[in-house]
């Protein structure tokens, strides 16, 4: 529907008015992210480090498709181009993720690099999305990501977000049709899966502790990015890593897009939906835990709100 389209797509206020810069953040080449501004200033690190007056592009060129060929990274001729443009070494593997992959995604894959000298292997998520505007005034997801990286260069290395490091156009003889978005794989499991496993194991107190951490992370996110909204803050877009005790927000391509609900209201609505499976007590306890992290000094009972 049109509501779903506007919900996901970038804001009207995107303009490419400044000279481009290079982003040195190829998966095979860096452990962090480095944004090179046109005046040769380098910014490295996490958080919403501010930079001035330059536009960042995450685009690393196009994957060329033969006439009539549908993008499939597992095809040898396409895989070879990906390896070159992303800078991953020999021994990398690719696997298509099964199941539901988001309403506007046209394919999601996991790319796993060969283990390094330390025996560790980096994993990346490749997400295929449309590359053309459906409405002239509304940029694509890849364009919105460029806007966000321009406004907040440090966002690329922010551990709180699974923010993309690269985008690739997918172009045939008639031009570009799609964008491939490349991002780090978030550590841990989706919050929705964590809730399910702990709920049926009778470990509800662990759920409330993690949801409080989600509230803390949401407040930190809003403070760091001048109250910019994620746009789809719900348990399928939140990862929790027990070992690291870390929250990560994924699916950030619509960040900053005006939506019907803000992030807190969106999470509240998600709790309302989950309560249909887990009961009204779940809703009350979930929202109480979330708000105790998001607004620690707020004693308001949010459990009755939808």
In this prediction, residue 305 carries a pLDDT of 42
Q: Give the model confidence (pLDDT) of 227-266 as tens digits.
A: 999 999 999 999 999 999 999 999 999 999 778 899 999 9
Q: Give the model confidence (pLDDT) of 135-188 as tens digits.
A: 887 789 999 999 999 999 899 999 999 999 999 999 999 899 999 999 999 999
Closest CA to 149 of 1, 16, 243: 16
Closest CA to 257 of 15, 5, 8: 8
- DSSP 3-state assignment of 213? helix
Helix H or strand E segment including 61: strand 59-64
Instruction: Check pLDDT > 90 for residue 271.
Output: yes
In percent, the amount of the chain with pLDDT more than 70 equals 77
- DSSP 3-state assignment of 85? helix
Alpha-carbon distances, residue 184 vs 125, 158, 203, 210, 227 (angstroms) = 6, 11, 30, 22, 24
In this prediction, residue 236 carries a pLDDT of 94
Q: Give the model confidence (pLDDT) of 36-92 as tens digits.
A: 222 222 222 333 333 343 677 899 999 999 998 999 999 999 999 999 999 888 889
Instruction: Give the whole-angstrom CA distance, residue 146 versus residue 57.
Output: 5
6 or 302, greater pLDDT: 302
Count CB atoms within 10 A of the CB of residue 198.
17
pTM of the model: 0.78
Q: Which two tokens stand for residue 117?
A: 């000298």
Sheet containing 123-130: give its strands across: 59-64, 166-172, 175-184, 123-130, 108-112, 93-96
In this prediction, residue 3 carries a pLDDT of 27
In this prediction, residue 202 carries a pLDDT of 96
**Mean per-residue pLDDT of the chain:** 80
In this prediction, residue 68 carries a pLDDT of 87
In this prediction, residue 101 carries a pLDDT of 53
- DSSP 3-state assignment of 172? strand
Count CB atoms within 10 A of the CB of residue 69.
14
In this prediction, residue 102 carries a pLDDT of 54
- DSSP 3-state assignment of 279? coil
Place of tokens 């070879």: 80
Instruction: Give the whole-angstrom CA distance, residue 250 versus residue 238.
Output: 6
């Amino acid at each position: 529907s049109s509501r779903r389209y506007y919900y996901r797509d970038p804001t009207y206020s995107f303009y490419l008015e400044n000279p481009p810069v290079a982003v040195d953040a190829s998966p095979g080449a860096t452990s962090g992210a480095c944004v090179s501004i046109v005046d040769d200033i380098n910014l490295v690190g996490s958080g919403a480090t501010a930079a001035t007056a330059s536009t960042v592009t995450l685009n690393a060129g196009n994957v060329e498709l033969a006439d009539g060929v549908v993008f499939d990274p597992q095809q040898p001729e396409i895989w070879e181009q990906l390896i070159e443009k992303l800078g991953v070494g020999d021994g990398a593997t690719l696997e298509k993720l099964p199941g539901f992959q988001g309403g506007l995604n046209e394919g999601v894959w996991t790319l796993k690099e060969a283990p390094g000298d330390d025996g560790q292997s980096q994993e990346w998520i490749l997400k295929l999305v449309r590359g053309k505007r459906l409405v002239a005034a509304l940029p694509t997801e890849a364009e919105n990501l460029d806007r966000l990286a321009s406004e907040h260069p440090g966002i690329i290395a922010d551990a709180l977000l699974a923010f993309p490091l690269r985008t690739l156009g997918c172009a045939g003889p008639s031009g570009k049709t799609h964008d491939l978005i490349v991002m780090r794989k978030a550590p841990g499991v989706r919050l929705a899966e964590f809730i399910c496993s702990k709920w049926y194991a009778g470990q509800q107190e662990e759920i409330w502790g993690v949801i409080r951490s989600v509230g803390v992370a949401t407040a930190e996110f809003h403070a760091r990015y001048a109250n910019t909204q994620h746009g789809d803050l719900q348990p399928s877009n939140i990862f929790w890593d027990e070992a690291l005790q870390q929250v990560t927000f994924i699916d950030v391509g619509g960040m900053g897009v005006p939506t019907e609900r803000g992030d807190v209201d969106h999470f509240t609505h998600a709790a309302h939906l989950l309560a249909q499976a887990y009961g009204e007590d779940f809703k009350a306890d979930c929202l109480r835990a979330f708000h105790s992290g998001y607004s620690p000094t707020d004693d308001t009972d949010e459990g009755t709100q939808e």
